[in-house]
Structures are given as C-alpha cells and as structure tokens.
Amino acid sequence: MGEQTINLSKVKGEFKKKVEEMLPEGNFNLCLACGTCSAGCPATGLEGLDPRKFLRMILLGLEEEAISSPWVWMCSMCQRCIYACPMQIDIPGLVYEARATWPREERPKGIRGSCDMALKHDTCSAMGASEEDWRFVVEDVLEEVQETQPQFKDLQAPIDKEGAEFFLNQNSREPVTEAEEMVPLWKILHVVGADWTYGSKGWGAENYCMFLADDEAWEHIVRVKVKAVEDLKCKVWLNTE
C-alpha cells in the first residue's frame, strides 16, 4: 500500500464538500479537539495519526495529507469514536469518503481481493467459495459429527430450508480453512431447538466491498444477501460478523 498517484487537488474540493455535508450543521468548528474519540480508537497512533488529528488536519486545510495517509485504511469502522464524541461527529464516515478518493487499483490488495472474491459467486464468500464447495463442506462436516458424536447424531445444518425462522450467515474463512469451527454454533442452535437455515446463496457474512469504499459492489453484495433471505421466506437474518 503506497501513496496515491491520483492528483489529489482534483478531488480536494469534492472531498471537503462531502465533509461539510456530513458534519453536524456543516460546521467544522463543532469539534472541541477534546480527543475523546482518539482515547478509545484501536487505530490511534498508527501512522502517527488518530481520529482527532485526522479531523483537525481536514479542518486546517491539510486534507490532501489526511486523505493520502495509509491511516485511512487502518480505521476498523468500529464507530466507537461516534459514540464517544460529544458532538457525534461521524469520523468513520469521513474515513470512508477519504478511501473513496483512492483509485480502486491502489486500495489495499487484501481488502480489494476479498471484495472481488465475494463478487465471483452469489455465495458472497470473501474466499471465493462456490455453491457446490459450500454444500460439500457443510454436508461433509455434518456427517462426521453425526457419525462420531452419538449425542449429536440428529444434528442438522440445513441449506435452503424454505420458511425457516432464522437465515444464518457464516464467516467465509471457516468453511475453507477451519470447517470444524462452524459446528459449535450448529450445536447451540440444535440444543435450543432453533428453526434455522443457511442459504446456498448469500451466506458469506462479511462485506469487504464496504471496507473498500466501493459503493456499487457494496450495494450488489447486500442486494444478493437480501434476495437470498427473501427467496427462502425467512423471518430473521442472523449475521454473526
């Protein structure tokens, strides 16, 4: 991840306009410089920045430096700063807009790659797992548990069960790299008698396209997932991420 090659002066005016729209009453001076946002931020200190400094740089006309800092990719979008801020300033929203100014091909490879993988199949798996791969792994792991753990011989891990109450998403990494990690949740749902299902589509829980600040791809992923839930007529969408 390097410095942006984009001519930042071209996006500078546009970015500042978006920032003004996002700040309460469009007022830059609402920030009290109290630093409460930075105190609980997991990205504080990385690349010599923190949310307060990031905002202050924009206020002081240093938005080119703020936008182009790799720090904008270190914000986890956890939103702690918004809750802590006495003025409810939407720092992650500003970070998102800063990310969106980067040319897509210069955004971090890991996040970009995971977004692109999720766009490959309607599974939305950030690891690029197809519907066939997904079904094979779930059925294989389930069979092994049923055969080796007598107390769970009736365990179920349904896929595409129409009308189930809960539609469950799954972290994309688990079926690919640590499939047995899916089992504890199946057992909990079994013990409490929950009526649940996975979808063959839309089960990937993450949305790296959001973290990539790719609006179009982000929307596509959400729409695929919503459609999967609606097609199965499930009442509740459970996303564990």
Q: Where are the alpha helices (DSSP H) in 76-214?
A: 80-84, 91-100, 109-118, 131-148, 173-177, 183-191, 208-211
Which amino acid appears at position 32 of this protein? L
Asked whether the beta carbons of 153 and 213 are under 8 A apart, the reply is no
Site track 31-70 with ligand SF4 (rule: CB under 6 A), x = hit: xxxxxxx---xxx-------xx--x---------------
Beta bridge partners of 25: none
Phi, psi (deg, nearest 5) at residue 36:
-60, -40
Q: How far apart are the first and last CA of the chain?
A: 25
Nearer to ligand SF4, 43 or 157 (CB): 43
Our finding on whether 76 is near ligand SF4 (CB under 6 A) is yes
CB of 12 to ligand SF4, least distance (A): 21
Nearer to ligand SF4, 95 or 224 (CB): 95
Our finding on whether 87 is near ligand SF4 (CB under 6 A) is yes
Separation between Cα atoms, residue 4 and residue 113, nearest integer Å: 18
Nearer to ligand SF4, 89 or 157 (CB): 89
Our finding on whether 78 is near ligand SF4 (CB under 6 A) is yes
Separation between Cα atoms, residue 86 and residue 196, nearest integer Å: 41
Our finding on whether 126 is near ligand SF4 (CB under 6 A) is no
Nearer to ligand SF4, 13 or 86 (CB): 86
Binding site for ligand SF4 (CB under 6 A): 31-37, 41-43, 51-52, 55, 75-81, 84-87, 89, 91-92, 95
